Structure 1
Amino acid sequence: MSGPMFGADSATALWDDEPVEGAFTLSDEGVVGRVARPWLFGFAGGAADAPAMLVLAGGGYTQLMVEREGVAVARWLNTLGIHAYVLVHRFPTTDTGPLASRADAIRAMAMIRAVGHGAVGVVGLSSGGHLAACLLAEGAEVARPDVAVIGYAPISTNAAGRTIVADKPPLPPVEKQAMYDLLQPDAQLADAPPPTFIVYAGNDPVVPVANAYRLKDAIVAKGGAPDLHIFADAPHGFALDTPDLPVSLWPLLCAAWLRQTGFAPDS
């Protein structure tokens, strides 16, 4: 291999010294499938001590939309003067157990902080948003981000007893359902949550908008002041490339918010 995958500036294994070859499968569409060994891909966005964000793509904890919800987000953050690190994490399976994804995210945050960035945040979309919210919960304080951006994430409506869809069956594989039962960020939020930007579609057919309100209410109850944006009509997985709809403006709103919080450099 002539250089890091995805056009990244750096590539680092999370838990071993093995090469990236064979660590995970990648389709021509930029979707990661099976993950045997997690990796972190860095995209430089400014001075060495500029702020950085961990980027967590979605994919329902069975795959990762790493190009569309990972690399594209990293490149956007770079335009704001922010370093970005895209995580290819393991999934909850029989081999890994229900908490492997969270363990990988916590490890990645520690590795990013060790680089020496001025501040470190997290951005997650869809299942990546659930994983990002898990870093705001009790038990993950060591990985607490300075800011969080969470989009269309299943915060807790996949957990047993908390579903919105009546009689919703358990999600396969069993380890994935166990993870959602164990990790309910809104019910487990740690005190004094960091500034959080939340963006959802009101008519999302995949992730009920109730997740947005659950997370917002939990943050407020713990003393935070979330920036909540609900777009009435948008598809699930709107990411950064949903043109001709109002939701396509959310990155502009988020960029202004990141500057307002003092996280992103002034343009």
Structure 2
Amino acid sequence: GFFDRLLFLLHILLLGEIRKTTHGTEIINGKKVPDRLMLYVASVQNNKGQHMCGGFLISEDFVVTAAHCDKLVVLGTHNLEKVDDGTMRYNVTRCKHPDFNSVASGNDIMLLKLSKKVQLNNKVQPIQIPKGEMKVKDKAKCRVVGWGYTRAGGKVSNVLEMAEVTLTNRKECKTKWKSLKLDLPNNVICAGGHNAKAGFCKGDSGGPLVCGATAAGIVSFNRECDPNIPNVYTDVSKYVSWIKKIQAVIHLHFHKCS
């Protein structure tokens, strides 16, 4: 209603800094993910076991996340209150993209090599990534997944949620971000804008943008939950050869990225 719109407007005005970007995903207008679906989603956590980012399993021992994320991985649960440290928590070797400097400049992708292979079962399964560079279709419907906040100013949800988002034309996305004095980096996919009702906000970068049965994007950044500015995802298809190279190198050099 009117009061909600007024609060939202005040919130935007109070944010001040026009170039401020928010890392992560707060799944807004999402719905709970059934336990038997999306068994590839990982929680990337800090040393205290606090959820910091999302991620997704692409093989028995590799998880993909955003480059600015943390270093412990939890797999095999949709409920972060139900984590068995002995069987669900993994130490990792972090392989950040070498050209990553900041989310605003792109290359926001990191490969995490798990300390031991995951037991694939009815709780954990990998998701496929693109086989090579691919062009996503404008206006395609995809899903974003995460444990992020469920509303601005809220707190991290312990329950995994997903929301449907619509992909946005790159040219239009570039123009919208240009108006905020930010040049859109290369190798990204945009979704939302146009007063989108669902999407991500903050608290959970690194989670997957799922198009069909493929992890097409990685949640990277957005504009303080503004529904008119498209959310930005790293385009996984542009990094397939880098992912394959790191997977090969790390097996040869025993947990060293290069």
Question: Which TM-score band (shorter chain)?
Answer: under 0.3
Which structure features the higher share of helix residues? 1
Which structure features the higher share of strand residues? 2
Alignment TM-score, normalising by the size of structure 2 = 0.25
